[in-house]
Structure 1
C-alpha cells in the first residue's frame, strides 16, 4: 500500500496481536482502543472467529491490532482451524498483548499460551483486563499471583478496563514504543480492513449470540446471500438509496432453528431488528434486512462447508 501522507521523524507502525483464552475481552478492548465498533462482542465465549484487523493512528504511531479467536481445546474442525489461526498470527506480528481476565487468577490453561509465546522473539505485554471488576482489596494479591505465574519472563504488566477505558491510554503508549520505525500502513482515517460483507455477517451473528445466549452457542454461522441497492421513497424531491440484504443463519439442528425463529417469528424479528440497526451505522444509511434460517447438520466439521463460510484452511 502506498503512503499518501507524510509521517514525522521517528514514526512507528506495526501489527499487534491480541492473544488469550476465550472471553477475556479481546474484542471489547480493540473497540475501546479504536474508539468505535469494529469487532463484535458478546458474553458468550469464543465469539471471535475471524482474524480481524483494527487500525489506530495516533500522532507518532499507527497500531494495527489483530483480534484472534480465543485459544482453547477444540472439539470440532472449526475449533481446530480457529486455534490454528491464532497460533499462526503469533509469528506474523511485531508485538503481542497477552490478555487475561484480571478478575480471575491465572489457570492451567494459561500455561499452554505462555509456552507458545516464550519461544518467540517478539515483545509481549501482559494485560490484566476487566480490572474494574477487581476490588481494591483484591488488586495487590491478584498482581502478586500473576507476577509469580510469569516469573522470569521479563514481560511488562498493565491493568486496564475495556469497558471504562481506564489504563488503555498508557497501554497504547507502551505498545507504540515496541513497534519498529516505519511509515503508515493504512490511510490515517481507516479503522478496519474487513470487507463490509464480513462485518455485516458478524453483526448478524452478534445479535444471535446476544439474544439466544446458552441456547444456540457456537453452532451458528451467517452467510450473506445477496446485497442490492434500492431506491427508497422520495422526500422533498430527493431520492434516498436503501440497501437490501438477504442473509441466511445456519444452525446444526431443527430444535435450534425453532429457537431462532421463535413463536410467530418473534425471535428472528428481534435479531433482525438489532442487526439492521448496527448495519445501518456501518453503512451510514437505511437498510432492509431479511433473514432466513437453514439447518445444516454438523456443518462445523465439514471442510467444504467451512470453506464456503470463509473458514478454509489457511
Structure 2
C-alpha cells in the first residue's frame, strides 16, 4: 500500500530539515506511525525529528516532563496541528494526504478540550455522533450505552457546564468513542479526575484494548502508566529517549526511576537547612 498520493498539503514538507538524519520508512501496519516530525513555535523547537510507532492493539503511554513536546506531538499525530516537517500514518493511511479517511479511525481527547458545554450530556454525545455522519437510531442507542458505561445516566440531561472535572472528562471521552474508532489518542485523560472516575475510565479503556482497540495516552503519573500500559515512550526536549514495551524501557528499575535517569533534573534539598531547623523549633 502506498501512502504518498500526490504532493503534500501546502505548509507541510515531508523531507527533513537540512542536515537532519533521514527518517526510516513508516510502519504501515502500526496504529500510528510518526516519521521525522518537527514543529517550531517562534524560536523554540518543540518537536525535533520525532519518529515513533504505536503497535495496533497496544496500550501505549507517552511520558515526559513539562514542556517535553507531548501535547504538540499528539496534536500533530491526530491532525489538530500541522507539522513543519514529517509524516503521520494512521493504520497505513497518510494523515495529511488523506485526512478524512485517516481521521475516521481516530478518537481524540485533546488536552484542555473545550466542549459545547451549553448542551446536556446526551446532546453532546449525540452531536458528536451526528457530526461523524452516523444515523440517528445508532447514535441514540450508542449514546445510551455510553452514558450507562460512564455512570452518567442520572446526569444525562444536565448541562455539561455544570459537570465536575471528572464528569467532563468522561463525557468528552464518551464523545470520542461514539463512532467506535480503532485508535484512541488521549492527552492527560486523568488530570483533575477523582479516583472513582479514574478507575471507571481505566476499566473502560482496558476493555477497549482487550477487544482490539489501540489507546495512546499521555500522563505524568508513572505508576499509573506502569500499571495500565504495555508500551511506553519517554520523551524530553521533543525527542524520543526510549521506546518499547514497559519491561524493555524500565529494565530492572521502576519506570519512574528509569524516567528520572533518562530525563535528569532531580534536585536535592541542599540549601534548605533553614526550613528543617525552622520546622523542628516550631
TM-score scaled by structure 2?
0.29
Higher relative contact order (CA 8 A, sep 6+): 2
